[in-house]
Each structure stands twice: as structure tokens, then as C-alpha cells.
């Protein structure tokens, strides 16, 4: 449980964080809140020669509205995001999701950027990120680039993060005003991580038919996904218990269900359906 020896340095700016990575010749690793990195180091699953602490870069803590998107600075903690007035007004699904991460101590240190960059298949945030068409904003040696979250996260703990770069923010699409949203999870009793986490947004138009629906699912396999079959089944329909049950049967369609000592893939598939059903019922049928 003791990490190997490492150097430690604070970066005061994004540019310095990139330069320090270049100078470390592949030995450097960014640290934000340390809530995922330090456990890995203690288990010696990663052994960086130098930790580059980015936690003082204040420009990475900003949350702002930019057109039809909300840009959330990478260093925004889960606690800050769950209480931010801009997030609560425009993308309440994000506030609802990060409010359910770990405990208060975890939410006080863990960051939006660190959670996405870590790409833990069991993390909560990817469900909301997929449902809200998140884009990851990356500053690297050759300037800034933006990657949709489904292209950024490509496997368990694997991302398309270029060398010597830093996630500066994650931006989320603002859903139409008339929609409602919810994040529901069935969590592992020991860790609190989702075994299945379902983030859902939906709304009906003036004639009473569903005109917007997005569903992101996390925790069940190596990678989060959008349940597009459920979305397609619901679009243009009048919400009803029968319709929701029929559509939710397809909740596992686009995902690969994991199989481990805690739950079988069959049970995960079942949980996907049940939690999608509950989420849709709460936003489409409850008053
Ligand atoms: C006890 C405990 C319980 C938890 N429970 C949950 C839970 O229920 N649900 C859940 O989703 N999560 C949970 N977490 C994880 C938590 O959400 C962390 O916030 C999250 O994993 C990221 O941690 P961090 O921001 O501290 O990043 P760090 O640990 O500092 O970094 C994680 C990784 O991301 C990289 N990184 C960090 N920031 C950036 C950046 N800006 N640009 C590029 N790379 C970056 C680092 O180099 C590292 O590889 C838990 C953690 C603990 C310790």
C-alpha cells in the first residue's frame, strides 16, 4: 500500500502543466484530486516518476454557458458541480448524477475532468456525459481539440488522450427546456459505485408525444453507452406504462454486459431494463 518514490511539482498554468509533461519524458502524470490516481499508485498499478499537481490552476474551475452548451472546467469538483447554479438551471442531470458519487469527502476532492480522464467503467459521470452529448476539451502541444465523449473513452481506463496534454473542460449540450431528467443507480453495497447507472432525459411536445429522449448507461460493462434503441422506440410515442416497458426491454441492446463475482451478465441486463424503466417512468409519467 505504499507507492514507489516520486517527485511532486505544482503547475501554475495549463501551459506549464504541458511543459512539465514534456520534460518528464513520459514519467509525468497529472494529479487533480488524487481520488483515483493515488489508490492506483498505492497498489503499484501505476508508478509515475513525477506527479504534476494541477489543482491550483484556477481557470480550470470555471463553469460557463457558451451558446447551447455548458462548459464545466476540468477542476470543478463533484460537490461544486452539484451546487452550481448554471449547472442546476441548464443541465440538472449533471448535478443529480455527481451528487450521487461516493461520499462528501470524495465529492469535495474528485473532479469532473479527473473522472472523465480516468475512464473508470464503473464511474457514474459517463452516464450523464453520454446522455448530454458531452465533449472533452483538450489542450495539447499543438493547441486545443474537442472530442465527443464516445470517441474519447475507448475502453476501461483507456482514452484517446494525446501525449503531453490536459483536459481543460468538459462541455455538455443543454437539453430542450421542456424536458425532465433523472439519474438512478443500483450501487455496489461496499463501494457505492454503480453496478448499473441510468441517466435519462425526456420530454413531450404540445401534442403529447415524446419529442426528445436521451439515455446514457454506465457501470454494466467496459464502457458506458447511449441506449439508442430505447430512444428510437420512444420517439413519437405517447408516454404510457406499456410503452415504457416495451422500450426498456431494449436497454441492454447497445451495451456489453460484464460478468464478475458480484453479478452475472444476465442480472446486469435485467438491472438495465429495470432502472431504465424506473427512470423513464419518473420523468414521463409522474406529475
Ligand atoms: C472512496 C472513493 C469512492 C468513490 N466513489 C465513486 C463513485 O461512487 N462513483 C464515481 O463515479 N466515482 C467514485 N470515486 C472516484 C471519484 O469520482 C474521482 O473523482 C474520480 O475518479 C477522479 O478523481 P480525481 O478528480 O481526484 O482525479 P485524479 O485521481 O487526480 O486523476 C485520475 C486520472 O485522471 C488524470 N487526470 C486528472 N485530471 C486530469 C486533467 N484535467 N486532464 C488530463 N488528465 C487528468 C490523472 O492523470 C489520472 O490518470 C470514488 C473515489 C474514492 C476514493
Using most ligand atoms within 8 A of CB, pick from 34, 40, 49, 115 the residue to mutate for ligand 1. 115
Domain 58-173 is in which class? Answer: alpha beta
> Ligand 1 in contact with 11 (CB < 6 A)?
no
Q: Which of 21, 31, 110 to mutate to test the pocket of ligand 1 (most atoms within 8 A of CB)?
A: 110
pTM above 0.85, yes or no: yes
What is the Å distance from ligand 1's center to 174 Cα?
A: 24
Q: Return the ligand 1 atom nearest residue 38 CA.
A: 29
CATH 3.30.465.10 residue ranges for the chain: 58-173
Which CATH code of 3.30.43.10, 3.30.70.580, 3.40.50.620, 1.25.10.10 fits the domain covering 7-53?
3.30.43.10
Q: Report pLDDT digits (tens) over 22-34.
A: 999 999 999 999 9
pLDDT at residue 2, rounded to an integer: 86
Domain 180-284 has CATH 1.10.1040.10: no
Residue minimizing CA distance to atom 20 of ligand 1: 115
- Give me ligand 1 centre to Cα 36, in Å: 4
Rounded to an integer, the average pLDDT of 136-151 is 97
Q: Cα of 177 to ligand 1 centre, how many Å?
A: 31
| pLDDT > 90? residue 261 | no
State which ligand 1 atom lies nearest to the alpha carbon of 36. Answer: 29
3-class DSSP string for the chain: CCCCCCEEEECCCHHHHHHHHHHCCCCEEEECCCCCHHHHHHCCCCCCCEEEECCCCHHHHCEEEECCEEEEECCCEHHHHHHCHHHHHHCHHHHHHHCCCCCHHHHHHCEHHHHHHHCCCCCCHHHHHHHCCCEEEEEECCEEEEEEHHHHEEECCEECCCCCCEEEEEEEECCCCCCEEEEEEEECCCCCCEEEEEEEEEEECCCCCEEEEEEEEECCCCCCEECHHHHHHHCCCCCCHHHHHHHHCCCCCCCCCCCCCCCCHHHHHHHHHHHHHHHHHHHHCCC
Q: Provide CATH 3.30.390.50 ranges for the chain.
A: 180-284
> pLDDT, tens digit, for every residue of 37-54?
999 999 999 999 999 999
Which residue out of 117, 138, 153, 217 has the highest number of ligand 1 atoms within 8 Å of its CB and is therefore the one to mutate? 117
- What digits encode the pLDDT tens for the residues 108-138? 999 999 999 999 999 999 999 999 999 999 9
pLDDT at residue 1 tops 80: no
pLDDT of residue 106: 95
Amino acid at each position: 500500500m505504499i507507492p514507489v518514490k516520486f517527485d511532486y511539482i505544482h503547475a501554475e498554468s495549463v501551459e506549464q502543466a504541458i511543459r512539465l509533461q514534456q520534460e518528464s519524458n513520459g514519467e509525468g502524470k497529472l494529479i487533480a484530486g488524487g481520488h483515483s490516481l493515488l489508490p492506483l499508485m498505492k497498489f503499484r498499478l501505476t508508478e509515475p516518476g513525477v506527479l504534476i499537481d494541477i489543482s491550483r490552476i484556477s481557470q480550470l474551475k470555471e463553469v460557463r454557458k457558451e451558446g447551447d452548451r455548458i462548459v464545466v472546467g476540468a477542476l470543478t469538483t463533484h460537490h461544486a458541480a452539484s451546487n452550481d447554479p448554471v449547472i442546476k438551471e441548464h443541465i440538472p442531470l449533471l448535478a443529480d448524477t455527481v451528487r450521487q458519487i461516493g461520499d462528501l469527502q470524495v465529492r469535495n476532492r474528485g473532479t469532473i475532468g479527473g473522472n472523465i480522464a480516468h475512464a473508470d467503467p464503473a464511474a457514474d459521470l459517463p452516464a450523464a456525459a453520454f446522455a448530454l452529448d458531452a465533449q472533452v476539451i483538450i489542450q495539447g502541444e499543438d493547441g486545443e481539440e474537442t472530442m465527443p465523449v464516445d470517441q474519447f473513452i475507448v475502453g476501461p481506463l483507456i482514452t484517446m488522450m494525446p501525449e503531453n496534454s490536459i483536459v481543460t473542460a468538459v462541455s455538455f449540450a443543454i437539453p430542450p427546456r421542456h424536458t425532465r431528467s433523472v439519474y438512478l443507480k443500483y450501487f455496489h453495497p461496499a463501494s457505492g459505485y454503480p453496478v448499473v447507472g441510468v441517466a435519462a432525459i425526456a420530454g413531450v411536445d404540445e401534442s403529447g408525444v415524446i419529442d426528445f429522449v436521451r439515455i446514457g448507461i454506465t457501470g454494466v460493462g467496459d464502457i458506458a453507452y447511449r441506449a439508442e434503441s430505447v430512444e428510437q422506440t420512444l420517439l413519437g410515442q405517447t408516454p404510457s406504462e406499456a410503452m415504457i416497458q416495451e422500450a426498456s426491454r431494449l436497454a441492454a441492446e447497445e451495451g456489453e454486459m460484464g460478468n464478475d463475482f458480484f453479478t452475472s451478465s444476465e442480472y446486469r441486463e435485467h438491472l438495465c431494463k429495470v432502472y431504465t424503466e424506473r427512470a423513464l417512468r419518473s420523468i414521463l409519467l409522474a406529475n
